[in-house]
Structure 1
């Protein structure tokens, strides 16, 4: 019954976070009344005995779990203190504690950090203009801060006073892409900002205290691994700091499905707990042999060893800074050890249910984490595989093969649902990597760290051995990555994933009287697998001549995707923020893969500015491109291994499925560009009925001659505003010539340029032209059809925006803040 209670509890908590608006207190009353009424009707109805038994044994605990889950998550969400909207976008003075290890981007020659990024737990916040002064003792809110040109690096556990400027928790939102705002929410981060270099000077108010031990360990590991080519990997495995893992190493792990090995997960804590169990078991045997202590003799070995496993797992969690993912992994492992500790028969499904209940009870937003679902699914698959009679009779090495095969196949639907692709080399790569990390790599690293406190000579030898062994593994992963890529499967519906797992676990659990599984259940599972991966009944289909345009939300940058029946065209690739993140990785590639688009027939990069061309390298690395053009092809080619781009010129045109893509500028008949922005490729897309015009960062200086030369060709139904809404673009003459039905701005949330500017917005409002802004609406999508005017007044159809498609009560909307309210648009 407990398992069904946990099922209802977890499902209710998850459903609560999917609500578009926060429910009122009356919702609990209505939910209670509805569930109790439904239960009473079925409970007292005249039902056959088997049905009544199922009702009592299954439905009743699920209903109780639903009620308890709703009360718990409602209370947790209601009581969690939120920062007031009035403190954002203005200087505030804060006092708080640095939590987790700060990430240092670059150290200058003078020893200063160009940027330090860290989580800051607020103890007091003061904002003078609104006379806001708040102190917290419990439920302290957390913000994410960046300190540029920092003279010193704050350490975990230190208390500081800063003057900062905050933005509310808000992030780009795109179809098929990672929801970073939800990620921040489930981590408890309420806002992000930066330390001001004027005003109140940063002051350290207290030292790190006991947290200084972790800082000293982190510094020691930095020195220990400094000369190793696997420095970032080693630090991630020991203390959970993944900031130094290089972009190429991340790419190899992603393509081989081994990225989970770089997070301190249940696997790692289970390894450490196992080592602790074995170590304390040896200590117990030594104590029995050499001591006469009565309590030692009366303590069973398994109890003593279990406490050792829990102790080692807890120390490992402390090394990782008690992060929320590590807490989840610790609870899962400790739950298993508790069954051993109290000497009860281990019940896999009860242990799994207990772990899930404790994790969600401790931190309800955990259900929003991908790691939560992947971890529990993986453990459930392992339990299911080990229950098979075939596996139980197999020798140990074959059991490992069966488990890895089960994980590779069993996790494919969940991974496909999150990332829209499956790493084809995952089985082979994990077959090598998991035993290596579990049995050799991680234990040897811990031994190296321990020895490093005793002997420099021995440490040097052990580090050499570590590098050699990991070089062998990395060579194998690189080989697999180069030969086996991804199977792109497109966007999976939630019901497809649930159906497959339901069929899988039901098939594994149903047996006949003689204990053999029903043969036909394998066929049912195969049909379920086919439905999940091959059937996309809700995927919109484009007819010949129709096309879809998606203006992606890439912050203060631009990236558009045009889709026809048979072709895909990308215009611009967004900005580049670091070696690990750019517009292509953030939005373009996830969206294309969610639509099962693996080839680009045409790539147009307006010009070489980073906010338009920052994702070019990542896009070319992961996507086949038939033809590429740019207004500054030579500049872009210089940054690539081989020349890919050709100059875009007036007269170039391409036709795909009845949709024409043509370049209007640059042209010999127009003035030569004097800056990067005016070198932009101006793209016109039309199907003969509807038209989209994309001018890149074109300024008014080039808009005027274009209007004079091509006035009749500029008319468009949809205009993507030039230069993100800058006052130097989208002039009155340009608007008059284009005469758009709608305008879209691609800009960043509360950007420092204040795009779109009031000047441009007033022009639109004066002409009654509706507009939308990716900063507030997320990715914005339109469909241009061939509908006649008799049926539809226009061929331009607004499909949706990402925030409209995925409303969440905890999301921060532009309308809630005076600074961004006027930037929201429709």
Structure 2
């Protein structure tokens, strides 16, 4: 009599159930505000009861369950987020390092779980600590302190606490979202490193992982050992920015860290070892059948490896699939592939609903689900199946990758055809065998790691060549959700199995994704966007057919380059492919530091800068220059031609006159230049919109300029709680008293001003894209659109 029972078919799981639970969690986490705990608990309880016992309401019940569960998790993070009154305050904490420290050229950052804190809400919560040594730290606890930090250590540290905060631009990295998803309730800067005390040495699985990674680095002389550390243990800390650029351009980032194939290989190793052991003891198989034992061993090995390597979404998904299959094997049941995936999705959402905020969750789940849905049930042959898998993976996930990253690897399919069989079939097994041998006996794994490095090096030069091709990567503008859904339908139709008629029609759905309709100002009007670059300035200008840039944001030596990290992603998300011209007001770093990155990232036809600013390959801007583009008139009001370079006071002042209003971009001019401009021609300064001179410093925004401009809007590019305290309250008050509103990027993210027959309309990205974690962290003032009297308290 067969022991096999009917397929596992529980009506409480399946694709509809997983979709409902997932939709509820997504709905809750993308709402602009959240429920209080009591209603959330009630919603969770009612939803769970409806799911488990009330058949007609199971799907709505799962929707409510997902919403309530995600709301409670989100509320827990928000309740422990650093209060505003503690922002920038110093505190002494006792905390444990919980993840591998990220070493940087000038410091390090690491994640810690707080045990003791003067602020009760921080206890038992996660924070991220950064350290950048300065000469005053001294030799004792300064330059070498970063190398003393290891995962699993327990420290007493003095830190300056900060609320998680990032720049907010379209297409840019959202650090606040990432901190929220990772449950980081605060960031911190290490202070007085010489007073830090190590209370306990490293311990735990992550400590073992860090030690094993150090052994790979110490025993493998190959220049590719850094990749083996990533492939074997998920430790990608040694990869350079250039490495990541190559991997992104080739669509290989999913392989270099721990992926599902790694977990599958580890599970197979455990299964084979248990199977071999059972063959030696046949009598044991009477009580423990070998297929069941091997399945359980594979699941156990996969879950253990997943825990060791950080529980990333692709590894957790594979490990959970193996665990579910093991349970089904124990119960002698079968489970359909899509039901298996649905159950894994439900388990991941129930375990951590905030995981749905990460790209890894969606790319992993959708990639596997798509393959399960469209791959033919019959065997097409190994080679044909592999090539079809790579084709489906490349094109099916294109809309999702574009949504998360704003870019698509055109070379991904070609690169994966090479990398997947070679890395997954040769390099990864060697790397994992070396790790297993090293765990058994020190020094035993060196030969396998060296061989893995050699095998990896055979393909890496080819991938470098592919990544350097202009066609390897395409940057895509941000599109609406409707366009993304149409593209998904198109890719689904295009990747259906053979025999489906007119599959080529799927390409039609991809057209709006690659060539979206991007609205532009009418002829004679202009749009200005003050990009959020922190303490600096960058203003994007868009007319009916022309794109231009005024200033390019700051660049810090060895640190952030906002030209690359903020300006370029913003321009690409808006749909800009080239700039007709870029004007750098002057040579100071906070205005011109990002210019080199912008010029490398996209074609710039002409660059203007004042004489003496030392901007390479630039033309001089001076008073009297005039030109017209698409019905909009541009005129340079300062500096005078032939005048010496005076840094801030040589800033190029640009007057922009559209059919519906005038804007004035002022750079960093001070009161002396302002008065001179009023003397030369006060009428030229009349403008409804002005960029805050010198970010709102006390040396600018004279009464003479304020009266001459008569502005209704003053837009400031400032960093949050910057060291200069820009904009100064006295300056803001002067503009307010004259009837102007003064929003700054530090409070509102990117600011957009559009001219129209009704005048200038100013909007703020934080208001257009409200997030539930924004409310208590950032709203120090009121909305941009309210009267300035109401707004004054916030500025």
Q: TM-score range by the shorter chain?
A: 0.7 to 0.9
Q: Distance in 1 between matches of 2:633 and 2:729?
A: 34
Q: Distance in 1 between matches of 2:321 and 2:673?
A: 62
1:773–1:823 CA contact under 8 A, matched in 2: no
1:10 aligned to 11, 22, 27, which one?
A: 22
Q: Secondary structure at the match of 1:466?
A: helix
Q: Deviations over 1:432-471 (max 9, x none)?
A: 2222221122223334445667687983795376246425
Q: Secondary structure at the match of 1:683?
A: strand
1:328 CA drift (Å): 5.3
Q: Distance in 2 between matches of 1:88 and 1:175?
A: 26
1:814–1:823 CA contact under 8 A, matched in 2: no
1:8–1:61 CA contact under 8 A, matched in 2: no
Q: Deviations over 1:49-68 (max 9, x none)?
A: xxxxxxx98x7432121121
- Which stretch of structure 1 is more off in the superposition, 678-687 or 367-376? 678-687
- The aligned counterpart of 1:775 is 746
1:133 CA drift (Å): 4.8
Q: Distance in 2 between matches of 1:634 and 1:816?
A: 38
- The aligned counterpart of 1:77 is 74
- The aligned counterpart of 2:610 is 631
- The aligned counterpart of 1:99 is 98
1:782 CA drift (Å): 0.8
2:736–2:742 CA contact under 8 A, matched in 1: no
1:238–1:319 CA contact under 8 A, matched in 2: no
- The aligned counterpart of 2:700 is 729
Q: Distance in 2 between matches of 1:715 and 1:115?
A: 48
Q: Secondary structure at the match of 2:743?
A: strand
Q: Distance in 1 between matches of 2:104 and 2:304?
A: 28
1:160–1:202 CA contact under 8 A, matched in 2: yes
2:20–2:63 CA contact under 8 A, matched in 1: yes
- The aligned counterpart of 1:117 is 109
Q: Distance in 2 between matches of 1:459 and 1:377?
A: 37
1:550 CA drift (Å): 0.6
Are 1:684 and 2:666 matched, yes or no? no
Q: Distance in 2 between matches of 1:659 and 1:434?
A: 53
* Residues 484 and 702 of structure 1: CA distance in aligned 2, closer, same or farther (over 3 Å): same
Are 1:163 and 2:158 matched, yes or no? yes
1:196 aligned to 187, 191, 194, which one?
A: 191
Q: Secondary structure at the match of 1:558?
A: coil
1:98 CA drift (Å): 1.1
1:582 CA drift (Å): 2.4
Report the count of equivalent residues.
757
Q: Deviations over 1:756-788 (max 9, x none)?
A: 112311222232321101111010101013x2x
* Residues 708 and 337 of structure 1: CA distance in aligned 2, closer, same or farther (over 3 Å): farther
- The aligned counterpart of 2:563 is 584
- The aligned counterpart of 1:422 is 408
1:602 CA drift (Å): 0.8
1:477-626 equivalences under 5 Å are 477-501=464-488, 519=501, 522=503, 525-530=506-511, 532-534=513-515, 536=517, 539-577=518-556, 581-626=560-605
1:280–1:304 CA contact under 8 A, matched in 2: no
1:657 CA drift (Å): 1.0
2:587–2:613 CA contact under 8 A, matched in 1: no
- The aligned counterpart of 2:127 is 143
Are 1:172 and 2:156 matched, yes or no? no
Q: Secondary structure at the match of 2:521?
A: coil
1:248 CA drift (Å): 1.9
Q: Secondary structure at the match of 1:543?
A: coil
1:653-802 equivalences under 5 Å are 653-668=626-641, 670=643, 672-674=644-646, 676-785=647-756, 787=757, 792=758, 795-798=759-762, 800-802=763-765
2:688–2:713 CA contact under 8 A, matched in 1: yes
Q: Secondary structure at the match of 2:178?
A: helix
Q: Secondary structure at the match of 1:601?
A: strand
Q: Distance in 2 between matches of 1:451 and 1:33?
A: 49
Q: Distance in 1 between matches of 2:766 and 2:462?
A: 43
Q: Deviations over 1:344-387 (max 9, x none)?
A: 3241111111111111111111111122111111111221232x
Are 1:651 and 2:624 matched, yes or no? yes
- The aligned counterpart of 1:303 is 292
- The aligned counterpart of 2:306 is 317
1:544 CA drift (Å): 0.8
Q: Distance in 2 between matches of 1:23 and 1:458?
A: 53
TM-score (norm: length of structure 1)? 0.83
Are 1:65 and 2:62 matched, yes or no? yes
* Residues 506 and 527 of structure 1: CA distance in aligned 2, closer, same or farther (over 3 Å): closer
1:246–1:580 CA contact under 8 A, matched in 2: no
Q: Distance in 2 between matches of 1:485 and 1:504?
A: 20
Q: Distance in 2 between matches of 1:419 and 1:181?
A: 16
- The aligned counterpart of 2:398 is 412
* Residues 504 and 324 of structure 1: CA distance in aligned 2, closer, same or farther (over 3 Å): closer
Q: Deviations over 1:768-811 (max 9, x none)?
A: 321101111010101013x2xxxx3xx2122x211111111112
Q: Distance in 2 between matches of 1:300 and 1:234?
A: 37
Q: Distance in 2 between matches of 1:274 and 1:193?
A: 38
2:74–2:354 CA contact under 8 A, matched in 1: no
1:813 CA drift (Å): 5.2
Q: Distance in 1 between matches of 2:42 and 2:199?
A: 50
- The aligned counterpart of 2:384 is 398
* Residues 567 and 332 of structure 1: CA distance in aligned 2, closer, same or farther (over 3 Å): farther
- The aligned counterpart of 1:640 is none
Q: Distance in 1 between matches of 2:85 and 2:393?
A: 48
Q: Secondary structure at the match of 1:248?
A: helix
Q: Distance in 2 between matches of 1:324 and 1:384?
A: 20
Q: Secondary structure at the match of 1:662?
A: strand
Q: Distance in 1 between matches of 2:215 and 2:256?
A: 20
2:271–2:298 CA contact under 8 A, matched in 1: no
1:93-492 equivalences under 5 Å are 93-106=92-105, 114-126=106-118, 132-133=119-120, 136=123, 140-149=124-133, 150=142, 151-152=144-145, 153-197=148-192, 201-210=195-204, 211-224=206-219, 227-264=221-258, 268=259, 270-289=260-279, 291-292=280-281, 294-296=283-285, 298-322=287-311, 327=316, 330-331=319-320, 334-335=323-324, 338-339=327-328, 342-386=331-375, 388=376, 392-449=378-435, 459=446, 463=450, 466-467=453-454, 469-470=456-457, 472-492=459-479
Where structure 2 has 5 or more consecutive residues not aligned to the other structure, the ranges are 1-10, 134-141, 784-789
1:634 CA drift (Å): 6.4
Q: Secondary structure at the match of 1:490?
A: coil
- The aligned counterpart of 2:88 is 89
Q: Distance in 1 between matches of 2:773 and 2:793?
A: 18
1:288–1:297 CA contact under 8 A, matched in 2: no
* Residues 148 and 804 of structure 1: CA distance in aligned 2, closer, same or farther (over 3 Å): same
Q: Distance in 1 between matches of 2:698 and 2:538?
A: 20
* Residues 341 and 249 of structure 1: CA distance in aligned 2, closer, same or farther (over 3 Å): farther
Q: Deviations over 1:411-447 (max 9, x none)?
A: 1111222333422222112222222221122223334
